[in-house]
A = this chain, B = another copy of it.
Amino acid sequence: MPDLATADVVALTAALCDIPSVSGDEAPLADAIETALAAYEHLEVLRDGDAVVARTHLGRARRVVVAGHIDTVPVQGNLPTRTETRDGAEVLWGRGTVDMKAGVAVALSLAAQLATPAWDVTWVFYDQEEVEATRNGLGRLARHHPEWLAADFAVLGEPTAAQIEGGCNGTLRAEVRTHGRAAHSARAWRGENAIHAAAGILTRLGSYRPAEVEVDGLVYREGLNAVDIRGGIAMNVIPDTCVVTVNYRFAPSRSTAEAEAHVREVFEGYDVTVTDLAAGARPGLDAVEVADFVATVAATTGGTAGPKYGWTDVARFSELGIPAVNFGPGDPSLAHADDEHCPTDQIRACAAALATWLTKENA
């Protein structure tokens, strides 16, 4: 691990990626981060499992959380990292460069460099974001040590191509089921075909027109889609069940109850079981802290604010009543790709914008 305060943030990104930390195996990286941060007297360093928290105690009027997860999806022959040129621009290639060790490097670098930021800062580096929600390190911190996360605003360093993405859509999954009566397919008239009965479900999905919903000045695009369909138990049996799993991505202005009611209305007459439901997060761009952050980033990098479509951990801050945005280097559509790579100028731009904002006199 290079010296945090003096290392180039791109070199630091490469060093972080080259310590593999697939979900569940973050200990070596968490140890390295904890040790590196402990060298700075302006930081109090805390640890829970493989999550490391470092915070200032400067008596500032406001506190911001800057957070990022340190785990990655499995390595697919895409380590160690290397520097390449793509379309004339320098990129850092390899697992984690986008999701999201570049964002972690930006935070570690500034945590070390900014001894007297204008806000008190809580830097959060957490584990197990890329696996089931129950293992999520940020959720564990919220359960074990909610006071560690207390803040007026949060910036999550998930990849946004160095733009600000506010809030996130909610997500609901439901099984929409048809029932029939089994029979041998040589005597199909004795049965009722549950797969045929699913035609109506698919027709409703095909004709569904998703809404675009404006929330706090950002337009969220919704979606309702089948992500799975299963029916049939043998090649000579008329099936008595067919299950269509649908995924509804809904604007953060809708409650989970409203989202569920909507899906039940769309599939009225069918057997609907909700299997997964998570609220979105309002972008909160009209909160004064967020507006100032947006203005500073825009002035520094030319970045604008848009909606985040995927569900991210900003929703956990939203649940805690803390306005939060996503802001980090890397194209989110390259997250988890074998060809994951991040433009190095985005890494530097994010670091510069955050540093500018955290040291602004009027903050």
Contact = CB atoms under 8 A, between A and B. Distances in A.
A185 B249 contact: yes
A244 interface: yes
Interface stretch (A69-77, A118-126, A230-238, A350-358): A230-238
B205 A232 contact: no
The number of times this chain is found in the oligomer is: 2
A288 B169 CA distance: 75
Contacts of A239: 226-228
Contacts of A346: none
Interface stretch (A42-50, A192-200, A255-263): A192-200
A264 interface: no
B229 A229 contact: yes
Contacts of A310: 184, 186-187
Interface in A159-208: 169, 171, 173, 184-189, 193, 195-199, 202-203, 205-206
- The residue in A202, A230, A237 that gathers the most chain B C-beta atoms within 10 A of its C-beta is A202
Interface string A138-173: 000000000000000000000000000000010101
- The residue in A186, A242, A309, A333 that gathers the most chain B C-beta atoms within 10 A of its C-beta is A186
A234 B227 contact: yes
A270 interface: no
Contact of A196 (B196, B205, B234, B245): B205
Given A206-B196, A244-B195, A225 B185 contact: yes
Contacts of A249: 185-186, 188
Contact of A189 (B205, B223, B237): B223
A221 interface: yes
Interface of A: 169, 171, 173, 184-189, 193, 195-199, 202-203, 205-206, 210, 221, 223, 225-232, 234-239, 242, 244-245, 247, 249, 276, 309-311, 333
Given A189-B210, A195-B227, 9 more contacts: A185-B227, A187-B223, A189-B223, A199-B199, A227-B234, A227-B239, A228-B239, A229-B230, A235-B247
26 contacts: A171-B186, A184-B333, A186-B223, A186-B309, A187-B223, A188-B210, A188-B223, A189-B210, A189-B223, A193-B206, A193-B226, A195-B226, A195-B228, A196-B206, A197-B206, A199-B199, A202-B202, A226-B232, A226-B239, A227-B232, A227-B237, A227-B238, A228-B232, A228-B235, A230-B232, A232-B245
